Amino acid sequence: MRRYPRIRWMMIVFCFFAIAINYIDRVNLAIAAPHIKKDLGLDDATMGLILGAFFWTYALMQIPAGRLLDRLGARTGLAVAVGWWSLFTVFTAFGKGFTSIFISRLLLGIGEAGGNPGSAKVISNWFPKKQRGTASGIFDAGPRAGTAIALPLVAWLISVWDWETSFVVTGAIGLVWVVLWLVFYREPEDMKGIDEQERQNLLQDRGQSQLVGTEKIKLRTLFGYRNIWGMMIGFFCMNFATYFFVTWFPTYLTMSQGFSLKELGTLGAIPALMGIPGSLIGGYTSDWLYRKGLSLTAARKTCLIAGMLLSSVIALAAFTSNITIILTLFSLTYAGLAFTAANIWTLPADVAPSPNYVATIGGIQSFAGNLAGIVTASFTGIMVGLSNGSFVIPLCVAGGICLLGALNFMFVLGKIEPLNTPKNDSGLGETTSHQQASLS
């Protein structure tokens, strides 16, 4: 059996903490929202704009961030990204009105755009294909852990001090991560003290296709592939529901269910906690199916579809007032979304024509996915305002879009393999019978 450097697991644990901090820094606003609204005299529609501001720059910067990470490498790229968003998390504490907080959130999104593409690149660098699902499950447990940690942590900081302190503390955590990352992280080629044969096994197992790593692909060429569009549409559908939890879920619990700040930090954290095993199991299941003989396509798509079908139960929460049932449905939804997400983040490394395009493709799918953040935050705010505080329409729409996501992974996403990008980048060139270069 081929052996690989054990230290690879430490690298992906670093990514887990980076993404956990990423989500703490974005969820803290959702938890602090009722207090900010009260202190600054903001209405629901205005608060919806602030909650959605982050997603504008976060979505728009995904592709540039991915391309930059492919050029800088994971070590420098992730250090810059985490340092940037941590600083602007701290700056949010000094916001004195709509404009200043809105701008801080816009700038926060620029830095956070590098988190997931950078982690996908670490997976490509340090893990063979048969372990990428497990590695993705570990780092993608970060959002669930970050959300779960943010609820009690930020609620406690606000109750003891104020909402401004919560942004200073959570931002400082990210700056500590940057220091530790720069001290410990190296690429496999540069890491000292690891077995040379294990290093060579890892380098040989990196997924590559016909494209030599030094050759360049135009960005528009990648958009010509059906699988890229399947990844983008699927990520959008998954994130439409995911970002309800990131933006409006704390407000939903306090407005519709009458949760206190203490209950928000305890019971409110249950769905996010359920997302942690969902992510780990989702990634492991995909790898297990692949090792048991299923094709990579069957292993990945089975998990993608199953997770989206499970997450559609979010719609049922609109038709009950029993808090136990509500939390159970939200927990199943979060677990399903996490199960899907662990497999979505294997796809950039699985389909990249060379390692030099893993973060770029990760940025492309994440760009589409995070357009959902803009839509979810604004759409929910508008619907809640128009319906006098009701969340029925947002929850039903989220459930329907989860079903659409399952259909997308079933019928739009094709065979999962490296894109057969031609060396002559003037067009799409030839494709295999199962790897279409267009949606037609």
Contact 313, 332 (CB under 8 A): yes
Q: What one-letter code names the amino acid at 227?
A: N
How much is the average pLDDT of 112-119? 87
pLDDT at position 339: 95
Q: Specify the higher pLDDT residue, 308 or 420.
A: 308
Would you place residue 422 in the very low, low, confident or very high pLDDT band (cuts 50, 70, 90)?
low
Is 245 within 8 Å of 308 (Cβ atoms)? no
What's the confidence (pLDDT) of residue 206?
Answer: 67
Domain assignment present for 28? yes
pLDDT value, residue 231? 96
> Is 348 part of any domain?
yes
In total, the chain counts a number of residues equal to 440
pLDDT of res. 421:
55
Q: Which two tokens stand for residue 318?
A: 């609109």
Alpha carbon distance 381, 26 (integer Å): 17
SS (H, E, C) the chain: CCCCCCCHHHHHHHHHHHHHHHHHHHHHHHHHHHHHHHHHCCCHHHHHHHHHHHHHHHHHCHHHHHHHHHHHCHHHHHHHHHHHHHHHHHHHCCCCCHHHHHHHHHHHHHHHCCHHHHHHHHHHHHCCHHHHHHHHHHHHHHHHHHHHHHHHHHHHHHHHCCHHHHHHHHHHHHHHHHHHHHHHCCCCCCCCCCCHHHHHHHHHHCCCCCCCCCCCCCHHHHCCCHHHHHHHHHHHHHHHHHHHHHHCHHHHHHHCCCCCHHHHHHHHHHHHHHHHHHHHHHHHHHHHHHHCCCCHHHHHHHHHHHHHHHHHHHHHHHHCCCHHHHHHHHHHHHHHHHHHHHHHCCHHHHHCCCHHHHHHHHHHHHHHHHHHHHHHHHHHHHHHHHCCCCCHHHHHHHHHHHHHHHHHHHHCCCCCCCCCCCCCCCCCCCCCCCCCCCCC
- Convert the pLDDT of each residue in 43-94 to its tens digit: 777 777 787 787 788 888 988 988 888 888 889 999 999 999 999 999 888 8
Give the span between the Cα atoms of 414 and 403, in whole angstroms: 18
Mean pLDDT, range 233-260, rounded to an integer? 87
Structure tokens at 144: 């669930």
Mind listing the pLDDT tens digit for each residue in 379-388? Answer: 888 888 888 8
Out of 95-99, 128-132, 157-161, 340-344, least confident range: 95-99
Residue 316 has pLDDT above 80, yes or no: yes
Q: What is the pLDDT of residues 274-290, one digit of tens each?
A: 988 999 999 999 999 99
Predicted confidence band at 36 (pLDDT cuts at 50, 70, 90)? confident
Cα distances (Å, whole numbers) of residue 414 to 186, 435, 437: 34, 7, 11
As given in the structure block, the two tokens for residue 231 are 């990844």
The sign of the torsion formed by the CA atoms of 233, 296, 309, 340 equals negative
Summary mean pLDDT of the chain:
85
Residue 88 inside a domain? The answer is: yes
- Please give the Cα distance from 356 to 348 (Å, whole number): 11
Residue 292 has pLDDT above 60, yes or no: yes
282 part of a folded domain: yes
- Tokens 């199943």 — which residue? 332
* C-alpha to C-alpha distance for 102 and 50, rounded to whole angstroms: 5
> Residue 196: inside a domain, yes or no?
no
Contact present, 233 and 368 (Cβ < 8 Å): yes
State the Cα–Cα distance between residues 251 and 242, nearest whole angstrom: 15
Report yes or no on 201 lying in a domain.
no
Confidence of residue 215 (pLDDT cuts 50, 70, 90): low
Residue 304 has pLDDT above 90, yes or no: yes
Q: Give dist(CA 19, CA 357) in Å, integer.
A: 21
Mean pLDDT for 183-191 is 87
Question: Is 384 a member of any domain?
Answer: yes
Q: Which two tokens stand for residue 302?
A: 């089975």
What is the pLDDT at residue 412?
A: 96
Instruction: Encode 319-358 in three state secondary structure.
Output: HCCCHHHHHHHHHHHHHHHHHHHHHHCCHHHHHCCCHHHH
Judge whether 197 lies within some domain: no
Measure the CA–CA gap between 121 and 362, rounded to whole angstroms.
Answer: 8
Instruction: Quote the domain boundaries for residue 332.
Output: 8-186+216-411
> CB-based contacts of 412: which residues, under 8 Å, 6+ apart?
226, 229, 230, 233, 234, 439
- Of the pLDDT bands very low, low, confident and very high (cuts 50, 70, 90), residue 99 is confident
424: confidence class by pLDDT, cuts 50, 70, 90:
very low
Mean pLDDT of the 394-405 span: 96
Structural domain tally of the chain? 1
> The domain spanning residue 232 has which CATH number?
1.20.1250.20
| pLDDT above 80 for 111 | yes
> Quick one: pLDDT at residue 1?
67
* pLDDT (mean) for 130-157: 85
pLDDT band at 208 (very low <50, low <70, confident <90, very high): very low
- Across 295-304, 320-329, 375-384, least confident range: 375-384
